[in-house]
Amino acid sequence: MLRLYDTRSRRAEPVVNGRSLRMYTCGPTVYRHAHVGNLRSYLLSDLIRRVAERQRARVVVCRNITDVGHLADDAAIDPAGEDKVLARARAEGRPAHEVARFYEEAFLADSAALNIRPPEHAPRATESIDLMIELIAKLIEKGHAYVTAGGSVFFAAESFPTYGEISGNRLDRLRPGHRIDGVDPRKRHHADWALWKPADRELTWDSPWGRGFPGWHVECSAMSLRHLGDRVDLHTGGIDLRFPHHEDERAQSDAAAGHEVVAHWAHGEHLLFEGRKMAKSAGNVVLLSDVTAAGLDPLAVRLALLEHRYRQQLNLTWETLRAADRTLRRWRTRVAQWAESPSRPMSAEAVARAQEAIDDDLDLPAALRIMRDLERDEGEPPGAKFEAFLHLDHILALDLSADIGKVPATPPLPGGAAELLKQRAQARDAGDWPAADRLRTELAELGVKVADTPEGQIATPGLS
């Protein structure tokens, strides 16, 4: 059974509820292209889905599209603050809805290129305003929110005693945030946050409190409650969303439902590129289009991300991506070659160890090491390797069968070559290089070319 580290409980716990998994993933704010660091968060939910489905669970995923409500500074409370979509629309000289749809389509294309499966529900914030107004009204009725002069609505943080259980940021330890003119005087407590903000500009709607737009945090609560109900098995997102977004979202949803809505919270760590946080100012923002422009397969990004635990900060580099691309192409060639051999039952022991690693908080690096060992195991029949690699590729989603039919079958090893290769591998492991060279020569006389790689020796019959 899949176990994930629950950010709230601070321990690894089973996340599949019986034979079902209802999962919410915070989606993109569609005002720019998603970079590979953003895409890492969506890979996390895709891996969870694939593992749960292999365990015969029915998975229902909701991933929203934020196309309104994000201020230029997400922490800002100034109602005059500019929405990110509107800022981009002004910069590009076209309507806000057109900008949002353009970047939404770009995000979906990048997700497809990484084999990230689409969710069952993908609600847009602009098409869910009625749900948000309904939720805000419910929170006011229950005493968890209040209306101020001018039409702002704030959530009363002190009405939710367990605030801070996800991030550890308890209300009694939170310091007031500061603007130029100090803490917003409309708030009853400095940690309260806006649910509705009055404004007279594009992307605003009528509400019982006047014309305005929703706060960012209320969007996810309204959409998850509508599409997944008030019992959600798992909520995922990047570590940067843990506070305040997920704390605020939990408070809103639980206050409205009257009970704990989300059973488990899982967060993926930051991704660095060439040792620095991705930022436009640093000039190191890498898009998936940059990867393909460099001649690399987009799934090399997926493999490079799988080489590290999702809860570990990852420093991605161009060399890492090139190495992943080489491995991906080699494995596809191997699978195509193995496909020409008689089918054999896959190595139950190796596959079981790989699946056990994956079930243990998505330890994909351990599973990939097991696959590399299996690739080099000269005692394992090619047909068995073929079955094992394709079985695990249901989760890895690296399209390892892509080259089947494109690569000519490798001729079988001539008599005696297998034993010589085994002796040579032992000589290499023992550091006996003269013996390894002698055995290479003997293999060449049999028509077998041997190449040494970081993953071990590779024998190619009929090409010497």
Question: What are the binding residues for Zn(2+)?
Answer: 26, 220, 245, 249
Q: At what angle do helices 247-257 and 216-228 cross, to 10 degrees?
A: 50
Query: Is the CB of residue 225 less than 8 Å from the CB of residue 261?
Result: yes
What residues contact 313, with CB distance under 8 A and at least 6 apart?
Answer: 269, 270, 271, 272
Burial of residue 289 (number of CB atoms within 10 Å: 0-12, 13-18, 19+): middle
Q: Which residues are annotated as a binding site for ATP?
A: 280
Q: Which residue has the tokens 């930022």?
A: 279
Query: Is the CB of residue 44 less than 8 Å from the CB of residue 268?
Result: yes
CB hemisphere CA count around 164 (13 angstroms): 14
Token pair of 458, please? 């590779």
Ramachandran angles phi, psi of 295, nearest 5°: 85, 15
User: Pairing between strand 58-63 and 145-147?
Assistant: unpaired
- Name the strand (E) or helix (H) holding 235: strand 232-238
Provide the Cα torsion 105, 136, 245, 46; round to 10°.
Answer: -40
What residues contact 309, with CB distance under 8 A and at least 6 apart?
Answer: 361, 362, 363, 364, 365
How far apart are alpha carbons 63 and 244 in whole angstroms?
Answer: 19
How far apart are alpha carbons 452 and 391 in whole angstroms?
Answer: 28
Token pair of 198, please? 């009055």
CA distances (Å), origin 450, targets 175, 236, 337, 436, 459? 65, 46, 17, 11, 5
Rg (CA), the chain: 27
Q: Which residues are annotated as a binding site?
A: 26, 220, 245, 249, 280
Residue 452: strand pairing partners:
457
Amino acid at 156: A
CA distances (Å), origin 261, targets 7, 171, 229, 251, 362? 15, 21, 8, 10, 24
How far apart are alpha carbons 157 and 144 in whole angstroms?
Answer: 8
Token pair of 323, please? 């190495």
